[in-house]
Structure 1
Amino acid sequence: MSTSDHEQNNKAEMHNDNNQTHEQMKKENFLKRCKEASTVRKIVFGLLLLLSIVIVVGGTSGYFYVKNGLEPVDPSDESTKTVTIPLGSSTSQIASILEDNGIISNDLIYRFYVKFNNASQFQAGEYQLSPSMSLKEITDKIQTGVIMQDPVFSVTIPEGKTLEEIAQLYETNAEIDADEFMKKMKDQEYIKQLIDAYPEILSDKILAEDIRYPLEGYLFAATYQFYEKNPSIDSIIHDMLEKTQQVVMDYSPQIDKVKEYSVHEVLTLASLVEKEARTQEDRERIAGVFFNRLNKDMILQTDPTVLYALGEHKDRVLYKDLEVESPYNTYQNKGLTPGPISNFGENSLDAVLDPESTNYLYFVAAPDGEVYYAETYDRHKQLVQEHLRRSK
């Protein structure tokens, strides 16, 4: 073998050695990557397994947490204890008192329960409560308990009153400044806070430009008792809105069926019925007339809206009054008024949600309280001449 051949053989052997080394490195790198991938898979699998365990355990724990909070503390313990709910206690304070006395197991769950069920009007007093009672039984009892003391004063708000009239009633009977009360009624930022607090009954509709007072019609007609000498206007308004919410929510299934009308429009109709009718029979029949006219795209032509537009209290509406320019004048504008023209009674709300079905399109409310109905305009004109002679 020549030197040249020997060098070539050496080069070939070196080349083979290099190839073997390269292959060996590739193999080692491959095995290393496989090992790393396996490690990553194990870590990911472990994390997923851990996450699944956390979700299952957390969900199970959450379920039993809520379940235990909703169940009686001890169904077998029917012993009772005296629990005192002080005057002015909030829902949170009541929940804490009940938990501290062992009547409920979780004050947070109870607060959610009260909110979800729209429970309100809790009464201060001393109650005999048991750990075996359900949340509903506890709630019902503290809504109807015995008051610990007589009210300092009571104010009765009749049906069909405007906000201005309500302000005067509070000024007369509770020494609440009427001007300050009405100032609150015009405070847009305050009204927005109330919309957030009572979304079941209040909406942005009450902030429409044509609305005279956003809360007109929303302060419920009832007797309100006060246990402090100088209640704030804010507390009065909240008491009244809570009563409105309580009544309206009782009728929520019926309101949901009247899909073409919002809560605001239903209460607007209820206020119109309230101002026109004296008896339940007339309320239901007049509500039917209003719906008949709305369905035929006829103007409502109801006198109380004219009086509201005028801002006056008059025994008789004159022909010239019918020309007043106002979005509340139903002799000049189709459809409903922008909002209620007064508060309403529960009977009027019931009539709007269950009106009498007739073919009447007209009615005349006579000064003596009788209401006369007609299906045709000619008959209506006769009734007007007989029972309602307007002056120019």
Structure 2
Amino acid sequence: MDKEQILLERQREAKVVRKIVFITASVILLIFAGIVTGGYLYVKNALEPRDPQDHREIEVKIPIGSGVGTIADILEKKKVIKDATVFKYYVKLKNETGFQAGTYHLKPSMTFDEIIASLKTGKVYKDAVYKITIPEGTRLKDIVAIIDRETKYSKGEIEALVNDRTFIRQLMDEYPGLLTEEILQKNVKYPLEGYLFPATYTFDDENVPLENIIREMVKKTDDVLQKYLPDIEQKKMTVHQVLTLASLIEEEATKLSDRKLISSVFYNRMKIGMPLQTDPTVLYALGIHKDRVLYEDLKVDDPYNTYKHAGLPPGPIANAGTDSIEAALYPKHSDYYYFLATKTGEVLFSKTKEEHDEKYNTHIAGQK
């Protein structure tokens, strides 16, 4: 065999080898990709609740001294989770510790985070016994009625607690940046008005102390306000003043209104010493709810009546939501000194009394 034939033969062999290597590598890559994809899908599936529709309570006993591996094995054996290994590594990845021994009633519908939370607190996971929803703009008297309706506590018990100075002092010690001596001023009707944040609260213990229910609402207000504290200080306002102004905005606002523009009207009036003249403060002074404020209502002699007294009232007149709090802190710039809401929910703004009266006669008086 001459040199040329030997060279051709070697080229053919090299070509075959390269082909074999390529096919082998491709097969290995496909197998690897299949393993990775399959593993990903398996882990993804194992991270989900075992059965989102299965709300049966399964008794699970965690012995003293159980490590994460043991706990994971027990949960898998009891069919609360799908895979013990995935649960164990999830716990380690999140650096969760502090699991407590005890007897739990867990559900296949629970997420890993719910199971972990239950095992860390030593509390059995339960469906909510009490669900208390406080809408934005709700007054304290109405919150009392809601708690009375949704829990075992009576209206008298709740009213006594939210006005109890000893309890209020305890809350002031717990939340000194939120609750100050301003809430105990002589003219403030209800110290905690404006400080019970509108939200939905759930409690899984039928015997939850009433103090804890109120405390949870105050805590929510404190949590919400934390990010606004630097701006409140920069504006040289107190939290009490901001919540008071926010409550006026909350009570005046409609779904169609620009809260920050309403806020600008209040700021403009306060700047020149003009009374705020907002009807909700009159109703709060009277202690009633009604659709229309009459001329004789405006004469009520009460510190909350902003027709008689310039500036902010002594305290909030309702419990405002985040939108109204932000409006109180960040008003728009405007030349408006008047506004009125039409029956359709639209809010009309005016710069002068004449312009305001004209809009009132056209949109309000003309519709009566």
TM category (shorter chain) comes to: 0.5 to 0.7
> Could you tell me how far apart the structure 1 residues matched to 2:220 and 2:201 are?
10
Q: Secondary structure at the match of 1:326?
A: coil
Q: Which residue of 2 aligns with 1:338?
A: 314
> Could you tell me how far apart the structure 1 residues matched to 2:142 and 2:339 are?
27
| Preserved CA contact (<8 Å) 2:339 2:347 | yes
* Cα distance change on mapping 1:386 and 1:235 into 2, 3 Å: same
* Cα distance change on mapping 1:184 and 1:142 into 2, 3 Å: farther
Q: Which residue of 1 aligns with 2:215?
A: 238
Instruction: Give the superposition deviation at 1:279.
Output: 3.5
> Could you tell me how far apart the structure 1 residues matched to 2:223 and 2:170 are?
19
* Cα distance change on mapping 1:363 and 1:131 into 2, 3 Å: same
Q: Which residue of 1 aligns with 2:61?
A: none
Map Cα deviations across residues 83-118 of structure 1 (whole Å, 9 max, x no partner): xxxxxxxxxxxxxxxxx9999xxxxxxxxxxxxxxx
Q: Which residue of 1 aligns with 2:128?
A: 151
Query: Normalised by the size of structure 1, how large is the TM-score?
Result: 0.62
Query: Normalised by the size of structure 2, how large is the TM-score?
Result: 0.66
Paired residue type of 1:358: S
| 1:374 alignment partner, one of 350, 353, 358 | 350
Q: Secondary structure at the match of 1:155?
A: strand
Q: Which residue of 2 aligns with 1:220?
A: 197
Q: Secondary structure at the match of 2:328?
A: helix
| Preserved CA contact (<8 Å) 2:127 2:204 | yes
| Preserved CA contact (<8 Å) 2:257 2:347 | no
Q: Which residue of 1 aligns with 2:8?
A: none
Paired residue type of 1:220: F
> Could you tell me how far apart the structure 1 residues matched to 2:227 and 2:185 are?
27
Aligned residue pairs, count: 263
| 1:276 alignment partner, one of 242, 252, 255 | 252
Instruction: Give the superposition deviation at 1:297.
Output: 1.0
Instruction: Give the superposition deviation at 1:382.
Output: 1.3
| Preserved CA contact (<8 Å) 2:305 2:313 | yes
Q: Which residue of 1 aligns with 2:81?
A: none
Map Cα deviations across residues 280-322 of structure 1 (whole Å, 9 max, x no partner): 7521110111111111111000000000001011010011111
Instruction: Give the superposition deviation at 1:371.
Output: 0.9
| Preserved CA contact (<8 Å) 1:280 1:351 | no
* Cα distance change on mapping 1:283 and 1:190 into 2, 3 Å: same
Within 5 A, what are the aligned runs for 1:243-254?
Answer: 243-254=220-231
Instruction: Give the superposition deviation at 1:129.
Output: 4.1
Q: Which residue of 1 aligns with 2:158?
A: 181
* Cα distance change on mapping 1:385 and 1:226 into 2, 3 Å: same
Q: Which residue of 2 aligns with 1:13?
A: none
> Could you tell me how far apart the structure 2 residues matched to 1:142 and 1:292 are?
49
CA RMSD of aligned residues (A): 2.9
Instruction: Give the superposition deviation at 1:146.
Output: 6.4
Within 5 A, what are the aligned runs for 1:282-321?
Answer: 282-321=258-297
Instruction: Give the superposition deviation at 1:384.
Output: 2.1
* Cα distance change on mapping 1:160 and 1:145 into 2, 3 Å: farther
Map Cα deviations across residues 22-76 of structure 1 (whole Å, 9 max, x no partner): xxxxxxxxxxxxxxxxxxxxxxxxxxxxxxxxxxxxxxxxxxxxxxxxxxxxxxx
Within 5 A, what are the aligned runs for 1:42-191?
Answer: 128-130=90-92, 148-191=125-168
* Cα distance change on mapping 1:132 and 1:181 into 2, 3 Å: closer
> Could you tell me how far apart the structure 1 residues matched to 2:353 and 2:113 are?
55
Instruction: Give the superposition deviation at 1:272.
Output: 0.4
> Could you tell me how far apart the structure 2 residues matched to 1:202 and 1:127 are?
43
| Preserved CA contact (<8 Å) 2:255 2:345 | no
Within 5 A, what are the aligned runs for 1:339-354?
Answer: 339-354=315-330
> Could you tell me how far apart the structure 2 residues matched to 1:143 and 1:361 are?
52
Q: Does 1:388 align with 2:364?
A: yes
| Preserved CA contact (<8 Å) 1:217 1:344 | yes
| Preserved CA contact (<8 Å) 1:280 1:347 | no
Q: Secondary structure at the match of 2:186?
A: coil
Instruction: Give the superposition deviation at 1:381.
Output: 1.4
Identity %: 43
Q: Tell me, which stretches of 5 or more residues in structure 2 are unaligned? A: 1-64, 69-87, 98-111, 119-124
Q: Tell me, which stretches of 5 or more residues in structure 1 are unaligned? A: 1-99, 104-125, 136-140
Q: Which residue of 1 aligns with 2:23?
A: none
* Cα distance change on mapping 1:294 and 1:164 into 2, 3 Å: same
